[in-house]
Structure 1
Amino acid sequence: MPEATRQAVRPAAHPPDTGRPPLLVYAVAAVSALGGLLFGYDTGIISGALLHLRDDLDLSSREQEIVVSVILLGAMAGALVSGRAAVRHGRRKVVTAVAVVFAAGAVAASLAPDVTTLVAARFVLGLAVGGASNMVPVYIAELAPAAIRGRLMVLFQLMVAIGQLIAYLCGWALSGSGGWRVMFALAVVPAGALAAGMLFLPESPRWLLAQHRSQEAERTLRRLRPAGADIAAEVAEIAAVTADGPRAGGGWGRLRQRWLRPALLIAVGIAAFSQLTGVNAIVYYAPTILDDAGFGDSVALLTGIGIGAMLVVAGVVGAVAVDKAGRRRTMLWFLPGSALAMAVLALAFTTSTDSAAQRWTVIVSLFAYILFNGVGMQAVVWLIGPEVLPLSVRGPATSLATLSVWGFDLVIAMTALTAINTIGRSGTFLCYALMNVACIVFVVLKVPETKGRSLESIERALHSPLPFRRALDGK
């Protein structure tokens, strides 16, 4: 890349988009974010299904962890495959294919005659979950105007939360032996809607430009920007960043370049902390943990619904906060509350939960943790990676970040019940509280503010001789 480009840290000269974005922008976000709903539903439904699935199939704690966790192995594979496929075939086609895989996995899981078949079906679902979590945020980021990119991308996380809430509601409504089959089958409906909707949406203009299809890219941007927007300037800015590099999503070997390290550290670090802070230990196992602690099936399932509702509230708050307050500030405002709530939960389990006061402390701290972590971490995790990772390596780099999400999610899923059996609920939740504190330190030291920045200006900041955060913040 020319030295002049390396030195250009501030955004290019084209003015920010003014006026109301076309409805197509919101249609892109809404339809593609159905992948988030499927992601949330298929990862969350096991929470309610497990209460009766473990009885129907006589599963041990380790076998329960395998049934829960195999979807995460599939997600890791799906993240890797989708990143490479998006380079060759484009973002839109990959998201469409993901919808088809979601439907196939849901049908297979609902018809599974034994544990082995169910595990295989949930691995297939994992392929779709990994593909959706990898490509949907990238797709939205590459089509959205910078001014509203944050809230549109957080719509993906909001839909994940809505999917998890629907999963909890289905788990409660369909509780009973055999109800888990219907729970799995219901995912076919949004999968069909996603596949049909994606057929009418445009391809990423940034991917088109990287494929030297500039006229198609310009036509797409005209459909996605307000009337009067300087499309030619935006095309020129994107082209200037990509002109001296390889086609979008260059090979894995390019991730070793020194100038990419700050972006990779941020994307992978936030991905890791999104799981190590413990959210999916609660999402996957809260009903099981509460039931085993003596709360009873009904209270456990209703608490699960409350957790799903808190995830939705967190998604709404996060969608507003990331564009109003900024990504970095949102994390620093809400993560301390997440750490405190998890610490209170740990203390509440230091003795038996026989008293009403202790039980209410457990439930309230659970809800508070989900709310604070949902806004401070889950609203940002799918946003920050596609923003800071450069176009030339966005395919494999985003795959690496997504792989980190699912890899650490797998660690949590495979160890949560074992940790509780080994060091107790209190010790396990205290470890998660400490990881929340570590995440706060990481954000303070490493994470810059990307609010309102074009993707190209963020990429130019990586080439600055200044530290990435200082270059991007203009300090």
Structure 2
Amino acid sequence: MSVASTLFNADKDHSNFVYVIAAIAALNGLLFGFDVGVISGALLYINQSFALSPFLEGVVTSSVLVGAMIGAATGGQLADRFGRRRLTLAGAAVFFIGSFGMAFSPTVEWLIAWRIIEGVAVGVASVVGPLVISETAPPDIRGSLGFLQQLMITIGILMAYLVNYAFAPEFLGVIGWRWMFAFGAIPAAVLGLGVYYIPESPRWLVEHGEIDTARSVLTRIRAKDEVDEEIERISEVSEIEEQGDLSDLLEPWVRPALVVGVGLAVIQQFSGINTIIYYAPTILNNIGFGDIASISGTIGVGVVNVAMTVVAIMLVDRVGRRPLLLVGTGGMTVMLAILGLGFFLPGLSGIVGYVTLGSMLLYVAFYAISLGPVFWLLISEIYPLRIRGTAEGVASVFNWGANFLVGLTFLSLMEQIGESWSFWILGAFCVLAFVFIYLKVPETMGRSLEEIEADLHESTTVSSDTDIDVSDREPEQYSE
């Protein structure tokens, strides 16, 4: 076995080009993560240029999510119509321009407008990255490769934290937050250049009648004896139904997958992760850390996020999606309870402050092995080919919409009811998340996308096709 196959738990050697495609497609996540992370540090210094109330801080933070909803809503359909590759290039271009637009904003209104434009690219990236990976990855490593998107998100967040730290003071006479935003043009340029090295998704090519091109792509990422069989499987699925649209998501046989995707989308945000990502410096300020120390503390959050995502990559195709989700949401619930208790106790200095910081780091660790990567992986797996991009876009819209509500209201919520009750409310959502996952979310480990779609058609059990003994387990079905 190759080093890459060993790292990604492959049952057999795969073409190195499979890993190249996945790595470049996952750079979409780098844009996503950088934009999410950079605002946390920038907020501390934007007030030097524009006087912001807590509500207006929420608007600046959340405006990108308005654009992300637009990008996600249109990105799936555009990906189905024009292809995954073209859309990736367009998203990179918008992000590149938007980074400079934010950096040179003369007023807060212009900053908000450019944040919305930048958000369109972020929304597109959240859809197209997982789509490319899931449609090119072999079934035995699809989960691990799918987690590369989340790994890149976490690396993007960590990169943003480091950039925030580097540009916290003025640099060359320019207030730091402008440099922070401008730096985002670099990962956008890297993604734009990387797109030229990857082909279009073979499944999209078959869906649009370009069989010979699809065969050429597959010969670079599959063993020769597997190419014709995969072309035939994809063609059979493609011939069953014509290209779908939004109305097809409400068909009875698709609806259970829609419920899972939308449910996980909302759960991922209402579990509170972006209250930590966006407002970690603000929270650390409240604990008693200074501005620079608060930004330094977020680097620890970023390192934990990256490290535990790597752990998740090594686990997802061994233990499955459901176990990671259940363990993660359970741990997040406990950590949010401790985090709220830390704020409830008088005087957040000394040992109590560090316990609070520790619970924040452990919360991020549990998220990084569960809801963070598994949500994006599952919504790229569970939908039918003819509406996969559209369906993933719908789930992403709900994800960004929930993100918008949390980002807009969290600071105001803390101001109204206090930090403790704010975090305990998020913990209650994590309890609901655990129940939803236990009852509704299927296991997809080891199944080809066509097998998952066939199971959905037949309303049969979706279970792992590996050596795991499932005789003593409850059937894991799509259920309404």
TM-score, scaled relative to structure 2: 0.92
* Alpha-carbon displacement from aligned partner over 1:337-359 (angstroms, at most 9, x marks no partner): 11101110011110333431111
Q: Pick from 247, 253, 259 the counterpart of residue 247 of structure 2.
A: 253
Q: Deviations over 1:397-443 (max 9, x none)?
A: 11100001100000100110011011100000001111111111111
1:54 is matched with 47
Task: Report the CA distance shift for 1:415/1:275 in structure 2 as closer, same or farther (over 3 A).
Answer: same
Structure 2 counterpart of 1:25, from 12, 15, 18? 18
Is residue 2:213 matched to residue 1:216?
yes
Give the whole-Å Cα distance in 2 for the aligned partners of 1:72 and 1:351.
Answer: 34
CA drift of 1:193 comes to: 1.3
Pairing partner for 1:240 from 225, 236, 240? 236
Match of 1:164 among 157, 165, 172: 157
2:272 counterpart residue number: 278
Structure 2 residue aligned with 1:320, among 314, 318, 327? 314
Q: Classify the secondary structure of the residue corresponding to 2:156.
A: helix
Q: Say whether residues 1:408 and 2:402 are aligned partners.
A: yes
**2:469 aligned residue:** none
1:295 is displaced (CA, Å) by: 2.2
Residue matched to 2:259: 265
CA distance in 2, matches of 1:21, 1:306: 35
Structure 2 CA distance for aligned equivalents of residues 99 and 434 of structure 1:
37
Shift of residue 465 of structure 1? 4.3
Deviations 1:80-117 (A, max 9, x none): 12112112210111011111111010011111111111
Q: Who is 2:3 aligned against?
A: none
**1:34-433 equivalent positions in 2, closer than 5 A:** 34-176=27-169, 178-225=175-222, 227-247=223-243, 250-433=244-427
Distance 1:176 1:335 in 2: 38
> How far apart are residue 275 of structure 1 and its match?
0.4
1:14 corresponding residue in structure 2: none
Q: Is the 8 A contact 1:461 1:472 kept in 2?
A: no
Could you tell me whether the CA contact under 8 Å between 2:260 and 2:440 is conserved in 1?
Answer: yes
Cα separation, partners in 2 of 1:64 and 1:465, compared to 1, 3 Å: closer
Once residues 326 and 141 of structure 2 are traced to their aligned partners in structure 1, the CA distance between those partners, rounded to angstroms, is 21
Superposed, which structure 2 residues align to 1:439-458 within 5 Å? 439-458=433-452
Identify which range, 359-368 or 173-182, moves more after superposition: 173-182
Point out 4+ residue stretches in structure 1 off by more than 6 angstroms.
Answer: 469-474
Cα distance change on mapping 1:451 and 1:465 into 2, 3 Å: closer
Deviation at residue 57 of structure 1 after TM alignment: 1.0
Deviation at 1:467, TM superposition (A): 6.0
| Structure 1 unmatched runs, 5+ | 1-16
Counterpart secondary structure, 2:242: coil
Is the Cα contact below 8 Å between 1:82 and 1:131 reproduced in 2? Answer: yes
Does the 8 Å CA contact 2:161/2:295 hold for their aligned counterparts?
yes
1:23 shift after superposition: 1.6
Distance of 2:299 and 2:66 partners within structure 1: 26
* Deviation, structure 1 residue 396: 1.4
Offset at residue 228 of structure 1 (A): 4.1
Q: Is the 8 A contact 2:461 2:477 kept in 1?
A: no
Distance 1:108 1:352 in 2: 44
Note the C-alpha offset of 1:472: 6.6
Whole-Å separation in 2 of the counterparts to 1:404 and 1:358 = 36
RMSD, aligned CA: 1.6
C-alpha separation between the residues in 1 aligned to 2:224 and 2:395? 36
- In 2, distance between residues paired with 1:157 and 1:465? 30
CA drift of 1:293 comes to 3.9
Q: Which stretches in structure 2 are left out of the alignment for 5+ residues?
A: 1-9, 464-473
Change (3 A) 1:465 1:99: closer
Counterpart residue identity of residue 345, structure 1: L
The residue identity in structure 1 corresponding to 2:221 is L
TM superposition shift of 1:473 = 7.2
> Compared with structure 1, are the counterparts of its residues 263 and 146 closer, same or farther at alpha carbon in structure 2 (3 Å cutoff)?
same
Q: 1:415 to 1:288 in 2, by over 3 A?
A: same
**Is contact 1:389–1:459 with CA below 8 Å preserved after alignment?**
yes
Closer/same/farther in 2, CA of residues 181 and 465 from structure 1, 3 Å limit: closer
- Offset of residue 148 of structure 1: 0.8
Q: Is the 8 A contact 2:441 2:476 kept in 1?
A: no
Shift in Å, 1:287: 0.5
Quick check: 1:168–1:304 contact (8 Å CA) kept in 2?
yes
| CA–CA separation in structure 2 for the residues paired with 1:99 and 1:282 | 26
Residues in 2 aligned to 1:432 and 1:415: alpha-carbon distance in whole angstroms: 13
C-alpha contact (below 8 Å) 2:441/2:477 kept by paired residues = no
Residues in 2 aligned to 1:341 and 1:72: alpha-carbon distance in whole angstroms: 26
**Contact 2:253-2:459 at 8 Å conserved across structures:** no
Instruction: Write the distance in 1 (CA, Å) between the matches of 2:446 and 2:462.
Output: 16
Aligned AA (2:290):
G
Q: Match of 2:471?
A: none
SS of alignment partner, residue 115 of structure 2: helix
Could you tell me how far 1:43 is from its partner in structure 2?
Answer: 1.4
Residues 105/319 of structure 1: CA separation in 2 closer, same or farther (3 Å cut) = same
Kindly provide the amino acid, as one letter, of the partner of residue 99 in structure 2.
A
Give the letter for the 1:66 counterpart. V
286 and 353 in structure 1: CA distance in 2 versus 1, 3 angstrom threshold: farther
Residue correspondences, number:
455
Cα distance, 1:468 vs structure 2: 5.8
